[in-house]
Chains A and B, each alone.
Chain A
């Protein structure tokens, strides 16, 4: 069974553990809440940092107060799991 994990608001240490560990084998999505409060947040830079760490994860800005946006995280995660399954990973 593919191990799956959703990281929402994880601590810095948690994120680092995920990235430096088996992140490449995980179906994961990184959700960033409250981006609306930080419009200058560099989403592309966040994605680039993840890439450099060897984990090309989807970085999803979302508003945790809206169910549809939280479900979007699951939607992305499902697409990751589906792909792993289709490719036999």
Chain B
């Protein structure tokens, strides 16, 4: 539990604790009820020490740390000196229950997250919590097609910017009793557009989401909601192409003369949101073999003209 911190601070701390403690995956989770916590972490500031003492009264011997604005942890029982990594590791490992065998991650035998999300979207039923580094961030309602920010994530002004770069560390989990009642506390967000925007923000140099590979040809099965696409001209072109012809990311980038990284990001968004399905064959003929005959391909020049008109107005 981190009292008074924003979601970025929580995620950063959880990653750091996981690394320092060398803990098994999934053994660290953020809880927001003091009686569910084995370790209390409180944002340092005026009143933190007295408030923390109050929280600590219910569990004698439970560690209580303070975290300052620079991310440094300290134990108020030992003064303001920041805790070293060895001291942090000692406390964390002491909290782990003794186990003969290392724990098996809960999702060890599960499909990649993108595939899980696609299946749940297509099923249109049930709910789940999306956690980032053990921090519960979103309550997903697949039946309603909505997502609600949880706890400190409600104050996040850019959820795709939070989820996208950490996509590989996201985990889909069952909804706990405490989280089940959270739906009234945050406005519902359309789930598909949120996933689309998250996919576009995954990384600076995007890689295709598993199970897609560079040899995967993707076909769009429907036009996405244009409120998802916003006004991204190259995404229009990719939609048009992939609706009519399955294509690999490389082939689509070559054909439309678009940056391959942007195409991969689009592939991820279309796949994750369920608007496209993989086909493991490349059907695109090389341009030289296209049939002869009257045809009109405005290409980038016309497209750029249209774009310029939009930017400058009528």
Instruction: Say yes or no: B227 contacts A82, CB within 8 Å.
Output: no
Residue of A nearest to B297 (CB): A85
Residue of B nearest to A83 (CB): B240
Determine if A37 is an interface residue (Cβ-Cβ < 8 Å): no
Instruction: Say yes or no: A86 contacts B287, CB within 8 Å.
Output: yes
Instruction: Say yes or no: A88 contacts B290, CB within 8 Å.
Output: yes
CA distance A51 to B222 in the complex (A): 8
Give the chain A neighbours of B298 by CB distance below 8 A: 78, 81-82, 85
Determine if B231 is an interface residue (Cβ-Cβ < 8 Å): yes
Given contacts A79-B303, A82-B297, A85-B298, contact A44 B240 (CB under 8 A): no
**Chain B 281-314: CB-based contact to A (< 8 A → 1; otherwise 0):** 0000001001101111111001100110110011
CA distance A28 to B262 in the complex (A): 25
Give the chain A neighbours of B226 by CB distance below 8 A: 43, 58-61, 72
Given contacts A1-B294, A56-B243, A61-B227, contact A83 B237 (CB under 8 A): yes
CA distance A50 to B238 in the complex (A): 20
Residue of B nearest to A4 (CB): B296
Contacting residue for B240 out of A48, A82, A88, CB 8 A: A82
Determine if B244 is an interface residue (Cβ-Cβ < 8 Å): yes
Instruction: Say yes or no: B297 contacts A86, CB within 8 Å.
Output: yes
Give the chain B neighbours of A79 by CB distance below 8 A: 233, 236-237, 239-240, 303
Tally chain B residues at the interface, Cβ within 8 Å: 35
Contacting residue for A56 out of B222, B256, B314, CB 8 A: B222
**In the complex, chain A residues 38-89 whose Cβ is within 8 Å of any chain B Cβ:** 43-44, 47-48, 51, 56-61, 67-68, 71-72, 74-76, 78-89
Instruction: Say yes or no: A81 contacts B291, CB within 8 Å.
Output: no
Determine if A11 is an interface residue (Cβ-Cβ < 8 Å): no
Give the chain B neighbours of A71 by CB distance below 8 A: 306, 309-310, 314
CA distance A63 to B157 in the complex (A): 27
**In the complex, chain A residues 1-20 whose Cβ is within 8 Å of any chain B Cβ:** 1-2
Instruction: Say yes or no: A82 contacts B313, CB within 8 Å.
Output: no
Contacting residue for A82 out of B231, B299, B309, CB 8 A: B299
Contacting residue for B241 out of A67, A72, A86, CB 8 A: A86
Instruction: Say yes or no: A85 contacts B296, CB within 8 Å.
Output: yes
Give the chain A neighbours of B243 by CB distance below 8 A: 56
A71 CB, nearest partner CB in chain B, Å = 5
CA distance A68 to B231 in the complex (A): 10
Instruction: Say yes or no: A78 contacts B303, CB within 8 Å.
Output: yes
**In the complex, chain B residues 251-305 whose Cβ is within 8 Å of any chain A Cβ:** 255-256, 287, 290-291, 293-299, 302-303
CA distance A59 to B222 in the complex (A): 10
Give the chain B neighbours of A48 by CB distance below 8 A: 222
Give the chain A neighbours of B296 by CB distance below 8 A: 1-2, 81, 84-85
Residue of A nearest to B307 (CB): A75
Determine if B225 is an interface residue (Cβ-Cβ < 8 Å): yes
Instruction: Say yes or no: B225 contacts A72, CB within 8 Å.
Output: no
Give the chain A neighbours of B233 by CB distance below 8 A: 75, 79
Instruction: Say yes or no: B310 contacts A72, CB within 8 Å.
Output: yes
A sample of 21 cross-chain residue pairs with beta-carbon separation below 8 angstroms, ordered by A number, consists of A2-B296, A56-B243, A58-B223, A61-B226, A71-B309, A75-B303, A78-B298, A79-B233, A79-B239, A79-B303, A82-B237, A82-B240, A82-B298, A83-B241, A83-B245, A84-B295, A85-B296, A85-B297, A86-B287, A86-B299, A88-B291
Counting from the closest, the 5 A-B pairs by CB-CB distance are A85-B297, A88-B290, A83-B240, A79-B236, A88-B291
**Beyond A58-B236, A86-B297, 18 extra complex contacts between A and B, CB < 8 Å:** A2-B296, A44-B225, A47-B223, A56-B222, A71-B310, A72-B226, A75-B233, A75-B303, A79-B239, A79-B240, A81-B296, A81-B298, A82-B237, A82-B299, A86-B299, A87-B241, A88-B290, A88-B291
